[in-house]
Amino acid sequence: MALSKTDPEATADPGATGDPAGGTRPRAPRSREGQPLLDPDESASRRAPDPFAVNPQRYFRADCASRPILDQIADKWSMMVMAVLEEPTRFNELKRRLDGVTQRVLTQTLRRLERNGMIERIVLPTSPVGVQYALTPMGESLREPFGHLYTWAIEHSAQIRSHQERYDAETAGGS
């Protein structure tokens, strides 16, 4: 079969599609079933492909850059601090809004988030000196995904508790 430079389906490289200009361009990411990850009617800027469907092994390597970052920002207290920082907030107000957090853990969490560029520490010109914490633009960009995760956790909490209780009951006698 002769290959046509203008027929997108007739290319020598199965991982590329034909380009009318004579070259090849990479094929859009596809799911394991071979379906395009992006809806052809939606632009990539509106819906990004699922990174795990493209190459799941790539994302869980020991040297993956995401690991230390996720470790630093995705723990429960970091997520909760970022959720309550809708506006610049003083330390004691944060502590009041985060039932159960200790002063030590909150201090460590705030320092970690500041070090990673998620929040900023604002020294107030008061006597005695006051401090507020506020989200940076990068921290603000995490509010939406964290909000989705929080919503998912609330929506599934009863189902998860049910699974935990069933698992605990099944494994209690076998330990």
Q: What is the pLDDT of residues 25-79, one digit of tens each?
A: 445 555 555 555 444 444 445 566 666 666 655 556 778 788 888 887 788 899 8
Per-residue pLDDT tens digits for 90-133: 999 999 999 999 999 999 999 999 999 999 999 999 888 899 99
- Residue 121's beta-bridge partner residues? 133
| Residue whose C-alpha is closest to residue 78's, from 19, 159, 139, 3 | 139
Sheet holding 130-135, edge to edge: 89-90, 130-135, 119-124
- Give the per-residue pLDDT at 39: 47
Sign of CA dihedral 73, 78, 79, 83: negative
Residue 30 DSSP code: B
Tell me which amino acid residue 86 is: E
* Most confident range, picked from 11-15, 52-56, 147-151, 154-158: 154-158
**123, two tokens:** 């020294």
Q: How would you class 113 by CB atoms within 10 Å of its CB: exposed for 0-12, middle for 13-18, buried for 19 or more?
A: buried
Q: What residue ranges define each of the domains in the chain, with the CATH number in brackets? A: 66-175 (1.10.10.10)
Tokens read off for 152: 């998912």
pLDDT tier at 159, thresholds 50, 70, 90: very high
